[in-house]
Amino acid sequence: MSTPSSSDDDIDVLHPAPAPPLPSPSTGAAVVTKSILPPVKSRSSKRPLSLSAPTGPDDQTFTAFLHDEVGITRPIVVAEAPGSWSVKDLVWKHDPSGRARTQRSPLWGLVDVYVLKGSKDVYVRCNVCALDGVETFLFLQGGQTSNGTKHFETTGKGKGSPARRGDHLLAALYLANNLKGGPRTRLTAADGAITQFMRTADRREHHVRFVLMQIMTSSSHAFATSVYVRSFLGGFRINYAPPAFGTVTLHLSELASFISSILVDLFTAAANDYMGVPWAHVCIDLWTAPGSRASYGAVILRFTDLGTLAIKQKSLGVWACPRKHNHKAIVKWQQEVPGRVGISEGDIASTTTDSRSNVRKAEADLDAPWIPCAAHALNVAVRKALGASGESANQRAIRVAAGGRAARRHLRACPNSAARELLPGFAQQQRSSSTQTRRRRG
Amino acid sequence: MSAIIVSGDPAIRGLVSEVATRWGSTYLSLARLYSMWPRLSIFFRSTTLTADQRKRLVIHRDWDKMRHLIAILTPVFEVTKECQRTSATLADIFSIVVALRKTLLLDTIAAPKFPEHPLAVGSDSIESFLQENPDDDVIELDNRLYPSEAVYMETRDGYESLCEEAAVAVRIMRDAIDRLFFNPKDNAKNWLRNPSVLSAVLLSPGGGRMLREVGDWVGIGDPTAEAETAVLETAAKLQPTAEAFGGCGSAGPVRSTAGISELRVTARSSLVLWQADVSPQRELTLEPRRVDRAAREELSRFRRLSDSAMAGDAMEFWRAHRAQFPALFDVAGSVFGAVGSSASYEREFSIAGRLVAGDRSSLATASVEMHSLASSNADLLPFVTAFVPSLSHAEAATFRETMNGYVPSTDEAEAGSYDVHTDEEESKEDEQLAVGWEPYD
């Protein structure tokens, strides 16, 4: 008691019994191992994680309970609980049987319960504060124990007398080691390590963010289950495991459903602004995934926002388009997909695609004007020009054959078939350059 | 080669090769090769080259061909790049395609001179060089400035002209651009017959004049009448409510101006005229005939204004003149949204391609759909993920079913099990339509 800074020593002075130093008040009780617990004789009779084991001082006096179970070994005097507690003209009555009613939480062993008729809320008086002559009443809404747990932790880290802080820390440790029911924020592992415990309600937010990260990195589910990721998360001493496959699918659906609802709102607002004028310009194309038979089509939607006259482009992602990619299938697919985000056929002002025959034939069947993609067309023009494709296939074959082995050798070098025929020297150089690049990197 | 030090151009860069699926990669790889000339020439002067390396020497004739090819590919690359801009309107693309056609039809084209050390490297030094020497013939390649010269497209005695390969390529390119953009025999491949293009160009400042001139130049005739029809057809779909018209543009303030007689308000704006005609007992929707008349009137006013206006940013023009053309404004907003290049979906397929990689090819279709929707629109998601509404498993399943609800028609279903026909097959089926066209990606 002589120096306020050395609270641990003060307790030792009061209790010469062998007791290891308590955790520093500043570190809190978040990560405390059992090795620093004071010796507790009756510990063997307890099963800390058992939900059925009796808790609290029912079978013993409160003093003995504090000494044996909580570990407060200094000489103490237990003050009598007052019969009632008044708040805002309401009188809460002491209920000696309150603890027996909810045996599952160990908190009830450390407090006296005050109830009000017709209310599920309770007030509790902290019996550990009472040891120092301090009357502390805590409001537990609906009888939830979280405020009580918080009281022991914060008082332990707070500005009270060293003895009071020490007592509360011991009580907080007792609560953390005896988790039974009620909302939890800590988890005691088999080795006695106490870690943050994540409630189900909190976990969802992290799961959704995890799924979003998986989306942005295009990572597979194997990523979530990999040992490395688990140990990475374990390093934070937070009891969080990445979501299981079913949960991933659920949250992915939630994200997609949320986005599609936003898009529907956005497009509905645009349709209202345009007052009947077709406003949506779509870009579509079909694509078969490499290495699989799955086939998709992409839909991009562009429109001018009438308020700001700024062009907005929204991608609707890729959508499955199974079966043949013939014009009938494309027409049906194109009529159906924009409808999923609330765009009717009358809203579509134009369609832009490349000029492949199947797509062009499909667009001829649709009402909206078709715009051939300018970039694709230019690409075709350049490729034809570089390939000098004015000559027939036969003439070209003759020209390549006439070049002898040297001419044919370049055919392997350049991925652009048109360019490599025209530019033997260039193709040769490309090979040289790639060799050089490899050499330099090597 | 990285050990070779070139004075004035210290950046260490490798050669780049073409990518078959990347637009303009031939040009980019040629430009890089050209700008690497100092380093390559030092490299090939080395006495320690192996026979294999020596065989790959770029000879003088090749450099000449290369610079001519760069000359003819530069304008095309510029246009391709401009087309892919997210905010490029059809009118923008039309004008640069016309510019490309004009460039290719000129007698001469600007080609980089035989490779040498660059005049300036990096944007700052290029800027300052141009400020100091504004009259020099220069060309910027690969972030470096080189001297350029005018080269004749056709062989002409006593003048520099394009090498044979480049000259042939120019001729083919001219034909191809005429065939793909100004094809008189096929309206689908004629931008001067495409209603979307015509409307967009007509509604740009100075666009009417351009349409007339380009129509004459290409030899198709004046497409203005068609353009006007296209605009009016779109305007005819407008179903404005009197209420909506009263609340948009400057019509509101004009109406609410106190102390001005009703007649003067009417005189000031044709818009108020229509509103004044709407009796409160009638439907709030204006008659189509009136809208049509108003649109015609606005269009002729717009054309007078547009013909005298300088060509400029169409969006800026319409922002400034919104109040003058309330009916045409919606039409303009609609036509400027049209997309001239489909680069966006190619990007989408890149994202999807990374997702459905070889080791994940059995990913469920619904997952791919949801994944690509979320990744393309991640900007719409709230920062705090707890705000994303939660669904029950049943609701999520229903959502997935609605999303993946595409059912092929029955005749296709009967056709067999999940056959994906490639585009080549399709092309053969539709050979008549596909004349001159090939699948190219």
Q: Is A260 on the interface with B (CB under 8 A)?
A: yes
Q: Are B181 and A317 inside 8 Å of each other by CB?
A: no
In angstroms, the CA B209 to CA B222 distance is: 10
Is residue A342's pLDDT more than 90?
no
Here the tokens at position A21 are 């130093």
Tell me which chain B residue has its CA closest to the CA of residue A330: B408
The backbone torsions φ and ψ at residue A369, rounded to the nearest 5 degrees and listed phi first, read -60, 150
Check residue A270 and give its pLDDT: 92
Choose, out of A411, A429, A439, the residue to mutate when testing the contact with B (most B CBs < 10 Å).
Answer: A429
Stated as kind and residue range, the H or E segment containing A281 is strand A280-288
- Which of the pair, B284 or B323, is modelled with greater confidence? B323
- Which of the pair, B422 or A293, is modelled with greater confidence? A293
DSSP 3-state of A412? helix
How far does B132 lie from chain A, in Å, by closest CA? 35
- Which of the pair, A189 or A269, is modelled with greater confidence? A269
How far does B49 lie from chain A, in Å, by closest CA? 12
Of A259, A290, A291, the CB nearest to B380: A259
Check residue A363 and give its pLDDT: 86
Q: Are A324 and B330 inside 8 Å of each other by CB?
A: no
Is residue A281's pLDDT more than 70?
yes
Q: Is A102 on the interface with B (CB under 8 A)?
A: no
Q: Is A234 on the interface with B (CB under 8 A)?
A: no
Instruction: Give the A window 327-346 contacts with B, CB below 8 Å.
Output: 327-329, 332-333, 336-337, 340
Q: How confident is the model at residue B406 (pLDDT cuts 50, 70, 90)?
A: low
Tell me which chain A residue has its CA closest to the CA of residue B418: A323
The model's pLDDT over B193-232, given as tens digits with 9 standing for 90+, comes to 899 999 999 998 888 888 999 999 988 888 988 999 988 8
Check residue A301 and give its pLDDT: 92
Highest mean pLDDT out of A148-162, B252-266, B413-427:
A148-162
Q: How confident is the model at residue A31 (pLDDT cuts 50, 70, 90)?
A: very low
Check residue A267 and give its pLDDT: 93
Choose, out of B36, B377, B391, B438, the residue to mutate when testing the contact with A (most A CBs < 10 Å).
Answer: B377
Choose, out of A373, A409, A431, A434, the residue to mutate when testing the contact with B (most B CBs < 10 Å).
Answer: A373
In angstroms, the CA B299 to CA B312 distance is: 18
Check residue A263 and give its pLDDT: 93
Max Cα–Cα distance, chain A, nearest Å: 113
Is residue A266's pLDDT more than 90?
yes
- Which of the pair, B308 or A394, is modelled with greater confidence? B308
Q: Which residues pair with B148 in a beta bridge?
A: B112
Average pLDDT over residues A205-223: 88
Exposed e or buried b per residue across B295-325, where buried means at least 16 C-beta atoms within 10 angstroms of its C-beta: bbebbeebbeebeebeeeebbebbeebbbbb
Of B14, B20, B343, the CB nearest to A415: B20
Lowest mean pLDDT across A52-61, A428-437, B369-378, B422-431: B422-431
Of A246, A323, A414, the CB nearest to B412: A323
Which residues of B are less than 8 Å from A289 in CB distance? 352-353, 356, 361
Of A258, A289, A436, the CB nearest to B1: A436
Q: Are A388 and B437 inside 8 Å of each other by CB?
A: no
The percent of residues in chain B predicted with pLDDT above 70, rounded, is 79
The model's pLDDT over A78-111, given as tens digits with 9 standing for 90+, comes to 778 888 888 888 888 888 775 544 456 788 888 8
The percent of residues in chain A predicted with pLDDT above 70, rounded, is 68
Here the tokens at position B441 are 């990606």
Check residue B349 and give its pLDDT: 87
The model's pLDDT over B233-242, given as tens digits with 9 standing for 90+, comes to 888 888 765 4
How far does B438 lie from chain A, in Å, by closest CA? 7
The model's pLDDT over A17-28, given as tens digits with 9 standing for 90+, comes to 443 444 444 433
Check residue A98 and give its pLDDT: 59
Is residue B256's pLDDT more than 90?
no
The model's pLDDT over A374-383, given as tens digits with 9 standing for 90+, comes to 998 888 888 8
